[in-house]
Chains A and B, each alone.
Chain A
Amino acid sequence: MSMRRRTLLKVIVLGDSGVGKTSLMNQYVHMKFTQQYKATIGADFVTKELQIDDRDVTLQIWDTAGQERFQSLGVAFYRGADCCVLVYDVNVMKSFDSLDNWHEEFLKQANPTDPRTFPFILLGNKIDVDGGNTRVVSEKKAKDWCASKENIPYFETSAKEDINVDAAFHCIAKTALANEREQDMKQYGFIKQWRFGYDHYLVLHFSLHSRDL
């Protein structure tokens, strides 16, 4: 077999309901924006294949339900993540205030080997709304928050206008890949074995899911 090794990277997208998690994901993967999304229930995922530093990477992006009531599901979806993307709406203060909770909850449930170095990325979405006039969270405020959390990379995005979406996800993939390498070295056996199983779950999940379309 001359097939090249492809690395699977699992990315979890978290944030309050309606901040645009599904839209960001779809803009990135399908290059589309529609007003007709449905609220995510449980979790969905999409995959995108890309090359980073000459490596074939499959980015598997998990979109989760935003309502805090679904958080108890988290543990199943968070496990094995290589990167966590936090999203808030720059026009909704509450969605920014919730970031601490999402951050904490993720670390608690995903339980990564080293919580301090586990890669997060923050996206401030919907910067297009009303020409920025309804904005309530300043860029500085967001960056300060990032600085307080081991310098999380920050992007301001618009899923609707496709602003910064590619750049943000490219950064996400790179970060996840870097983390993956590190994880591989630390606990090769466990992760590989786990992933191995996971692939099948995905195939199944995806095929079942495809029926919903």
Chain B
Amino acid sequence: MQEAELHDLSDDADYAASQQQGSPSIMRCDSGKKSSSSEPEGAQIVYLKDNVTIHPTQFASERISGRLKLIKQGSSLFMTWIPYKGQSTNAKLSEKDRNLYTIRAVPFADVRSIRRHTPALGWQYIIVVLSFGLAFPPLYFYNGGVREFLATVKQHVLLMRSAEDANVFLVNDFQNPLQRTLSSLELPRAVSIASVPSTPVSVGESSSQQNEERTDVSASVPQYNGRQRQKGHDPARDISIQVLEKFSLVTKFARETTSQLFRETHSNGFGPLERRNSNQSALDYSHKSSEYKEDVPVQSPVDPDPLEFDKLSLVWGKPRQPPLGLEEWATFLDSEGRVVDPKALRKRIFYGGVEHKFRKEVWAILLGYHSYESTYAEREYQKSIKKTEYETIKNQWQSISPEQAKRFTKFRERKGLIEKDVVRTDRSLSFYDGDDNPNVNLLRDILLTYSFYNFDLGYCQGMSDLLSPILFVMEDESESFWCFVALMERLGPNFNRDQNGMHSQLFALSKLVELLDRPLHKYFEQNDCLNYFFCFRWILIQFKRSGSWT
């Protein structure tokens, strides 16, 4: 029997792939939990259920059925859900969809909670929420078996019922750093931990509790109100589930960053946060969940796994790659220099950056000065054309005589403002330091020229911060100008007189946090800072002052 199952697994391409993908997690969770099985190697299926189905859309024809398994390997428990192949009702199901929805050996160490729905009418289903906030779509048990599923899980991992909602089962709850963070935040006297639902749960809730009326993600997430589910209501019809799933990827990043910040705060000893140490907050937390004491007497909630929280080496949850090198860059271009796959290029750079020596070339494209479709020759040509054009615009203000300037208040003010700011921009870098630094003068000339190129927008503080790295990279006045122009095409609205761009972004940010990290949102709400002005500088200059460069 067991042999047959193993054979079954090894035959399954999806499973084999997931085994490779999941290996780091396996290691992590091995170290984390006490082994209850004497089996040293090999996987054992401890639960198997057929006809477990997801409903990607409201259409019955698009439902995807598959097999749900719980697999025990060593001391770790994994969950897989593999759609059936060649199922007749899945005619429309593309390979892509299959891959999208397939659940590949998710270790329970990564699961945050499971929400159970056992309506009187209709199918039972569960929603599995991962610890970094991603929620899988509801899994419908066409043949029943939710209870058995949960019972099996409970045999192998720490599972306990949420204090706030009897249908939510928390997995490995003590590992959630944000909870601990919030409990320490509470200290000065704010958030009651009991009133803070964990984010992933609320994501799960929102996916299941919101119905058709809520398709706009910018609307606020209604609170779970415990109302009876109406017959025929299918949570999968809610388009926001998919949207939330995508967004919830962001949550991981956001929350890790938050907890990182608060840890730093602890160690820096800032403010009232330091009054309580992590031990105490952990105690607060364990007090809340008494079950957990019984279940795990040995394990104390100590500092999180350092590997898992080494944020600096992670970009959006993935290890940082080395900067894009010249040889690899060439592979992104066709023989005439066009970027073949812009998206792949951006993705590559997102995860590793670019080697400095050819940033010049890449930035001009990334910023939108040259198009991805442009050839080497076209870029060279444009460079010379644009140089002339730049000189023409620059000449517009350079030709203003002192006499003329006397009667040109607007010009004098603008020039004065720019001059005041360029001498306060990155002067500690050798590129801009010292008296009469020519690069500082270039900053001034480019900004003043820009304020003539776009006279309506003019100059606004923050622009010099954005231009400074561009000039440093491009090392050419006209090229820097045009790159800056392209950047301002995107960021210009942030600098508008009415601050419209900023306000709408801060608003969007507040809505995102509301969706993704409800405890944090609540915290901001209670502390009267939902306007998010504390993020103003970050957004206006795109975090330019938040890290070091060069």
Contacts and interface: CB of A to CB of B under 8 A. Distances in A.
Interface of A: 17-18, 35-43, 65-67, 69-70, 72-73, 76-77, 94, 194, 196-212
Contact of B427 (A35, A199, A209): A35
Contact of B534 (A94, A197, A204): A204
Contact of A39 (B270, B420, B528): B420
Contact of B540 (A35, A41, A199): A41
B420 A211 contact: no
A208 B189 CA distance: 20
A113 to B, nearest CB: 19
Given A38-B545, A205-B534, A198 B264 contact: no
Given A197-B527, A198-B528, A199-B188, A38 B499 contact: no
Contacts of A198: 527-528
A18 B423 CA distance: 11
B400 interface: no
Nearest to B262: A207
A212 B497 CA distance: 26
5 contacts: A17-B461, A42-B536, A197-B527, A201-B527, A201-B534
Given A17-B461, A203-B273, A211-B261, A43 B527 contact: no
B461 A41 contact: yes
B427 A208 contact: no
Nearest to B413: A94
Contacts of A209: 534
A202 B533 CA distance: 12
Interface in B263-315: 264-265, 268, 270-273
Contact of B545 (A77, A201, A212): A212
Nearest to B433: A36
B424 A39 contact: yes
A203 B540 contact: no
Contacts of B528: 194, 197-198, 201
Interface string B225-265: 00000000000000000000000000000000000011011
A17 B272 contact: no
Nearest to A202: B271
A71 B529 CA distance: 18
Interface residues of B, number: 45
A152 B509 CA distance: 40
A73 B420 CA distance: 22
Contacts of B534: 42, 201, 204-205, 208-209
Contacts of A38: 424-425, 465, 545
B523 A200 contact: yes
A197 B540 contact: no
B157 interface: no
Interface in B455-502: 460-462, 464-465, 495, 497-499
A153 B546 CA distance: 38
A42 B537 contact: yes
A207 B264 contact: yes
B421 interface: yes
Contacts of B498: 72
B424 A76 contact: no
A69 B460 CA distance: 7
B404 interface: no
User: Which 10 A-B pairs have CB atoms at the shortest separation, nearest pair first?
Assistant: A42-B536, A18-B420, A207-B265, A200-B527, A41-B537, A201-B527, A42-B537, A205-B534, A201-B529, A67-B461
Given A69-B499, A72-B498, A200 B188 contact: yes
